[in-house]
Amino acid sequence: MATKSSKARDPNIKLLLTPEAERKKLESRKGSSRKERRRPSLTDHNRNKREGEILDDNSKRPISREERAQIKFGHTIYNKAANLFELLKDNTVVQPKIEFENEFEKRRAYSLAFAAKRFEGILKDVLLDSTFYSSYFKLETYHHSKVMVMLLDFYDHGFRFSESVRKKIEIDSKNHLDHIHDIQKAFFQHKVKLCSAFARNRIKACALSLDAMLPAEVKERNEHGSRHSLFTWINPFVADAHCIINQLKSDGFVYKESLEELSGSEDNGLYFSYEEDGANTDLLEFPAWCKDEVYNHQLALDSSLVPMSKPRYLMTKACRRAHDEVCRVQQKSHHHAVLPATDGKENHDMVNGGCDVVLTHPETGSLAAYLCSFLGTNKRLFIFGCHGDKAVEVEKNLKNIGISNYVLLSEDFKNIVGIDDRLSSVKLIVCNPPCSNSGVVNMVDFIIQEGADTASSLSKEATPVKIRGLAEEQASTIRITFSFPNVQSIVYCSFSTFPEENEKLVQRVLQSQQNSKNRFEMCVVLEDMRDIFTSSQDGDFLRVEPSYKMDGFFVTLLKRKIKEDSVSEVMERAAKKGLLKKSSGKKEKRKGVPKDQPPHVANRLSVVDKKKAGRSSPKPQKKLERRDTDEDGRFKF
């Protein structure tokens, strides 16, 4: 008994559990805490549908764990991912528009498609080594893309189509597809050969995982992309920052001054970071493992938190500062003098302050929403290139966010000339033409946040021919912005890392307009970020290389340099317009007439002055006149 009591466990010593028991214990704690956790609704938020707003009720509610599992391993998700995979391989393939029920399904489909494209060569070797197509040749003919997408997912989940071995996913009849079921059945029948083929390929490459078999550059990008934080913009049209933060804290999120301080033991927790004082007071940061929780949160579904990448946020900051600078110049010029317009009326744009803004190319709505947030209610954002499905998508997103001061234009910006009555009050243009997107690290997040039309450009390699063609289109867009006579500032931005699309392109376009009277020049942008500034002799710009913190991007500010006229040029121009009267000669200054004398006294004094002037003047000499001569021949006078 003594020996038994001596071996009694000390309460201060923690009992070590096996990894499996520790995992089950952690899952049980998470499940119990989530059941007890309740997500109260915000009273300040407008949960009801706003006027003219079209919302999908199914996509605006949180998704349970069971529903996530149904979506993750459903037959329809593999079918949509296969269609995206074909589009990534060849963008000339005509695919019907893919509709997604919610954000989670969209992220899952794009993740499967890009992963299959990344490991395409390895998957082909595995299928060839395992003689899979020799046994199921019909699958190669009709369903090759689906086999590629499903095989990688089959391998990632331990050669099964579920989260665990014991838990089986039941597919309802609505989402059941016969050809997907046949592929799953073929994988289970060929499981041993597929597993052996994967092992042989790893041994041949001396790699412990499939990720280790990728090229070093692709491997580095994947590692950076997996560590990218999620940034969200606090929508001021719905709620304020304090209300959002209190809601997150009540839902279990823990505030941290910096997410870089998180240790390894704090992984998989719910955290967020926020700048209470500084330039980024309307931006929240979440760690990478919280993305699903944030996307599925009611605040994100109600557009109270709008996902926005950090580079896009910095671009919008540059646009806002350029807009504020234009407003200051207008107010300063109006303080000295109100400039008359051509019709004789006052220029009301000078009086009211602010200006209209042009966005050359449409996005999914996050960039346009932030631009509209700092414009006044009487100012508008003109968005070009909104036609077809793109116009419907942009309008839906902007209405969900609560934006109303925008104008969607179906014309392409390249077909617009500077003399347009609709754009007469435009002083700022945000130039965001298509680029190679070579600085993008996390492709899935970028496509979901920036628009699905960039999927084909992300899948193609940035060849010199492609870069040259994009650079010509970008240069043409910048030249068109120069044709607007009232524009004072232009913000050019791209997600490219090639100088041919960035500073070299801008410098080349600026050199081509040297003969212009009012030239544009590159100016300093975001001065408070000098630590990541890259300067050149011809101007200043902001260029950030891709890293584990954010994607690579480029942004610069072009300001119109107005030539100051000299005084003589101003007087000459005024004389030509008849504003100045020409004098015949210099006026003689009258002497002796005091300025403060009455008119009749002044006239009398002037007469006296004239008499005095006549006396003092010498008499003129008499002219000799010719007379007759005398007898001696001399003249007589």
In this structure, the answer to whether residues 499 and 487 fall within a common structural domain is yes
Collapsing DSSP to helix, strand or coil, 254 comes out as strand
Total domains in the chain come to: 3
Phi/psi of residue 153, each to 5°?
Answer: -70, -35
In this structure, the answer to whether residues 324 and 234 fall within a common structural domain is no
Distance (Å, rounded) from C-alpha 174 to C-alpha 375?
A: 47
First to last CA, the chain: 175
CA 540 to chain centre: 19
Q: How many CA atoms lie within 13 A of 267 on its CB side?
A: 5
591 within domain boundaries = no
pLDDT at 348 over 80: no
pLDDT confidence band for 331 (50 / 70 / 90): confident
Distance (Å, rounded) from C-alpha 471 to C-alpha 433?
A: 10
Task: Give the DSSP letter string of 8-54.
Answer: PPPTTSPPP--HHHHHHHHHHHHHHHHHH---PPPSSS--SPPTT--
In this structure, the answer to whether residues 275 and 421 fall within a common structural domain is no
Collapsing DSSP to helix, strand or coil, 417 comes out as coil
In this structure, the answer to whether residues 183 and 315 fall within a common structural domain is no
In this structure, the answer to whether residues 437 and 464 fall within a common structural domain is yes
141 within domain boundaries = yes
**Domain holding 560: CATH number?**
3.40.50.150
Quickly tell me which residue has 């700022």 as its tokens.
428
22 within domain boundaries = no
In this structure, the answer to whether residues 270 and 362 fall within a common structural domain is no
In this structure, the answer to whether residues 248 and 315 fall within a common structural domain is no
Distance (Å, rounded) from C-alpha 8 to C-alpha 476?
A: 81
What mean pLDDT do residues 14-22 have?
Answer: 46
Domain limit, last residue, from 161, 183, 214: 214
In this structure, the answer to whether residues 301 and 314 fall within a common structural domain is no
Domain limit, last residue, from 155, 183, 214: 214
Domain limit, last residue, from 567, 587, 613: 567
**Domain holding 290: CATH number?**
3.30.70.1170
Q: Express each pLDDT in 295-314 by its tens digit.
A: 888 999 888 999 888 899 88
In this structure, the answer to whether residues 326 and 448 fall within a common structural domain is yes
Which residues lie below 8 Å from residue 1, measured CB to CB, with a gap of 6+?
Answer: none
- Per-residue 3-state assignment (H helix, E strand, C coil) for 488-553: CEEEEEECCCCHHHCHHHHHHHHHCCCCCCCEEEEECCCHHHHHHEEEECCEEEEEECCCCCCCCE
Structural domain including 289 reads 224-307
Distance (Å, rounded) from C-alpha 227 to C-alpha 260?
A: 11
In this structure, the answer to whether residues 316 and 168 fall within a common structural domain is no
Alpha-carbon distance values, 275 to 241, 272, 284 (Å) = 11, 11, 8
Alpha-carbon distance values, 373 to 22, 343, 428 (Å) = 48, 33, 15
205 within domain boundaries = yes
Q: Where are the alpha helices (DSSP H) in 537-598?
A: 567-576
In this structure, the answer to whether residues 265 and 205 fall within a common structural domain is no
Q: Express each pLDDT in 208-256 by its tens digit.
A: 999 999 998 888 888 888 888 899 999 988 888 889 999 999 999 988 8
Least confident stretch, 149-153, 568-572, 617-621: 617-621
* Listed ranges 50-54, 167-171, 187-191, 546-550; the one with the highest mean pLDDT: 187-191
Sign for the pseudo-dihedral over CA of 280, 281, 287, 293: negative
Distance (Å, rounded) from C-alpha 545 to C-alpha 446?
A: 16
Q: Is 412 annotated to bind ligand?
A: yes
395 within domain boundaries = yes
9 within domain boundaries = no
Distance (Å, rounded) from C-alpha 189 to C-alpha 350?
A: 76
Sign for the pseudo-dihedral over CA of 238, 239, 241, 243: negative
Least confident stretch, 338-352, 443-457, 507-521, 592-606: 338-352
In this structure, the answer to whether residues 90 and 232 fall within a common structural domain is no
339 within domain boundaries = no
Burial label for 123, CB within 10 Å (0-12, 13-18, 19+), is buried
Reported pTM: 0.74
321 within domain boundaries = yes
Quickly tell me which residue has 């104008």 as its tokens.
407
Q: Express each pLDDT in 169-189 by its tens digit.
A: 667 677 789 999 999 999 999
Count of C-beta atoms within a 10 Å radius of residue 410: 11
Distance (Å, rounded) from C-alpha 86 to C-alpha 91?
A: 8
pLDDT confidence band for 433 (50 / 70 / 90): very high
Q: Which two tokens stand for residue 579?
A: 């504003």
